[in-house]
């Protein structure tokens, strides 16, 4: 499968079209950002690691009947994925208080939450990806209530699979950002699952 056009370049990846309009290629970069891209740098071979980790975790989730956009690894930095109409909502699931939730709610860093907390953010770099609720999603027409319910149900299922997977490796999944999109009418997990999109202790 050959790359055709550069469709999109983000902080961590470049997405290329292919001769098949249903499939695209994700290229994982070594670029690293922090503080909402205010601090930028590069980490050698980060893209290679994130591509390999994402592929393994997508395959794990597929075995648990969670539909993803993953098709196959092409090489160490590229994977072939199904083309998605991205839902412009980022879903963050939190298992342990860390980062912004600890600051916002006055929780001690490292406290295990009684149950996973799912938060939604408006996927908009110019606005700094602000925290939003279901009413905001409706007002902004970002997704239908049915789509949000499907995504949130999938988020909790994904979280359970990954918490158990990482626990067996002696790693705590503190929190995780997930993105979804539509492909031929079905909602699939997209983007990536890697140390770039999760907090692992």
- Percent of the chain at pLDDT exceeding 70: 97
Rounded Cα distance between 77 and 39, Å, is 23
Of 36-40, 67-71, 83-87, 98-102, where does mean pLDDT reach its minimum? Answer: 36-40
| Residue 35 scores a pLDDT above 70 | no
Mean pLDDT to the nearest integer, 63-69: 98
> What is the pLDDT, as a whole number, of residue 34?
66
> What is the pLDDT, as a whole number, of residue 38?
65
pTM: 0.93
Contact 122, 68 (CB under 8 A): no
Rounded Cα distance between 111 and 130, Å, is 24
| Residue 194 scores a pLDDT above 70 | yes
> What is the pLDDT, as a whole number, of residue 33?
72
How would residue 100 be classed by pLDDT, with cut points 50, 70 and 90?
very high
Mean pLDDT to the nearest integer, 61-89: 98
- Percent of the chain at pLDDT exceeding 90: 89
> What is the pLDDT, as a whole number, of residue 37?
58
Residue 68 DSSP one-character state:
B
Q: Between 176 and 125, where is the model more confident?
A: 176
Q: Between 8 and 165, where is the model more confident?
A: 165
Rounded Cα distance between 106 and 83, Å, is 40
> What is the pLDDT, as a whole number, of residue 111?
96
Rounded Cα distance between 50 and 197, Å, is 10
Instruction: In the chain, count H helices and then E strands.
Output: 4, 15
């Amino acid at each position: 499968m050959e790359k055709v056009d550069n469709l999109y370049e983000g902080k961590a990846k470049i997405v290329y079209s292919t001769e098949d309009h249903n499939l695209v290629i994700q290229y994982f970069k070594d670029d690293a950002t922090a503080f909402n891209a205010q601090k930028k740098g590069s980490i050698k071979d980060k893209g290679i690691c994130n591509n390999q980790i994402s592929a393994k975790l997508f395959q794990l989730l597929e075995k648990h009947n969670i539909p993803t956009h993953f098709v196959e690894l092409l090489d160490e930095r590229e994977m072939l994925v199904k083309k998605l109409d991205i839902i412009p909502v980022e879903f963050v699931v939190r298992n342990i208080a860390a980062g912004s939730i600890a600051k916002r709610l006055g929780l001690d860093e490292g406290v295990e939450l009684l149950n996973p907390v799912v938060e939604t953010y408006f996927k908009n770099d110019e606005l700094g990806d602000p925290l939003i609720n279901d009413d905001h999603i409706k007002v902004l027409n970002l997704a239908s209530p049915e789509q949000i319910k499907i995504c949130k149900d999938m988020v909790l299922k994904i979280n359970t699979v990954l918490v158990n997977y990482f626990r067996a490796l002696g790693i705590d999944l503190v929190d995780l950002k997930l993105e979804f999109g539509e492909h031929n009418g079905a909602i699939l997990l997209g983007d990536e699952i890697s140390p770039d999109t999760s907090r692992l202790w």
